Amino acid sequence: MDHAGTGVPPLTAPTVDLHLHSTASDGSLPPADVVRQVAAAGIAAMALTDHDTTAGVAEALAEGERVGVRVVSGCEFSVAAPWGEMHLLGYFLPLRDPTLDEFLVRCRDGRVVRARKIVAALQEAGVTIDFPEVEAEAAGGAIGRPHVARVLVRRGAAESLDDAFNRYLGRGRIGYQPKVLPSLREVARLVHEAGGLVSAAHLRDRATRSTLSGLKAHGLDAVETRHPSHSPELRDRIAATAAGLGLLTTGGSDWHGGNGSDHPQSQPGSEAVPLAWLESMDLRRQELVAR
């Protein structure tokens, strides 16, 4: 198909990927490698959104400059929700903000305490695993269940990451330990004061009008509509609800570099998120900072 009969091939609209992980948390590739994969997929901009850390962002920014990909500083927080736990994507986060940094250090310390409890519970159940091995797997990044899962697979206690979650690490299993969760209000305030915006990640069928309107009252700016766990019907429904409530929309692949994800089919850019969505976020953020 040509463009308006001119014989010129149509330009595909630029896309972005606003949900990506690296070795700074439970992804399997270093930040610079993630950026290179994003560049290779022809994506204009990306956000690095590691769990409870912005430690990978500086490296991603430097590589983004080198290969011509705009990198947005992000983070995936875990917060309390009416149903338990909710993930909250923070965007446009400053890299050196004492209040935010102190908060994130506390989150990561909480992850270490939890990982120790997980390992102790598994040992109690007779599984051969020890904390130093899990700690080494995390290699200084924010530690989480995927690191435990990788060790379980390596030790032959599970066949795959998914199997490790089903057998040991998922809710209700022997190695399950809840996170100590801050409130949405608290994290939204922290992010807003730092000049950023927050989007509710992968809500799936919890993204009803009443739930989203409640979350908005607690500071939510946007909702992730495009995500590998959302069907096309669901993402369209969430987008319509978001528009009615004045919430912005975000989306991304939640790619973990091929290891550490429950969405093995996702790839950088696989959610084809329009650049215009990021531009709307830019505008909203400028309004917030101007206030």
Q: Which does 59 bind (CB under 5 to 8 A by kind): Mn ion, ligand AMP, none?
A: none
Give the span between the Cα atoms of 30 and 135, in whole angstroms.
17
CB of 149 to Mn ion, least distance (A): 11
Residue 251 CB, nearest distance to ligand AMP (Å)? Answer: 17
Report whether 87 contacts 197 (CB < 8 A).
no
145 binds, among Mn ion, ligand AMP, none (CB under 5 to 8 A by kind): ligand AMP
- Give just the sign of the alpha carbon dihedral 54, 76, 190, 171: negative
Asked whether position 50 contacts ligand AMP by CB under 6 A, the answer is no
Question: How far is it, in rounded angstroms, from Cα 181 to Cα 156?
Answer: 32
Q: Where are the alpha helices (DSSP H) in the chain?
A: 31-40, 57-67, 98-124, 131-138, 145-154, 161-164, 184-193, 209-217, 232-245, 275-290
Contact segment (CB under 6 A) with ligand AMP among 33-41, 143-151, 182-190, 214-222 equals 143-151
DSSP-derived pairing of the beta strands 70-81 and 84-91: antiparallel
Which among 142, 139, 146, 135 is positioned nearest to 49, based on CA atoms?
142
Convert residues 256-275 into a mask of x (bound to ligand AMP by CB under 6 A) and - (unbound): x---xxx-------------
CA 24, CA 29: separation in Å to the nearest integer? 9
Candidate ranges 92-100, 128-136, 179-187, 247-255; the one touching Mn ion (CB under 5 A): 247-255
Assess 254 for contact with Mn ion (CB under 5 A). Answer: yes
What does the alpha-carbon distance between residue 42 and residue 44 come to, in Å, rounded to a whole number?
Answer: 7
Residue 63, interface with Mn ion (CB under 5 A)?
A: no
Scanning 37-45, 132-140, 144-152, 273-281 for contacts with ligand AMP by CB under 6 A, the matching segment is 144-152
State the minimum distance, in angstroms, from the CB of residue 83 to ligand AMP. Answer: 15
List 74, 90, 141, 144, residue binding ligand AMP (CB under 6 A): 144
| DSSP state at residue 221 | -
Size of the site for ligand AMP (CB under 6 A): 12
* Interacting partner of 191 out of ligand AMP, Mn ion, none (Cβ under 5 to 8 A depending on kind): none
Q: Interface with ligand AMP by CB under 6 A: which residues? A: 26, 51, 144-146, 161-162, 165, 256, 260-262
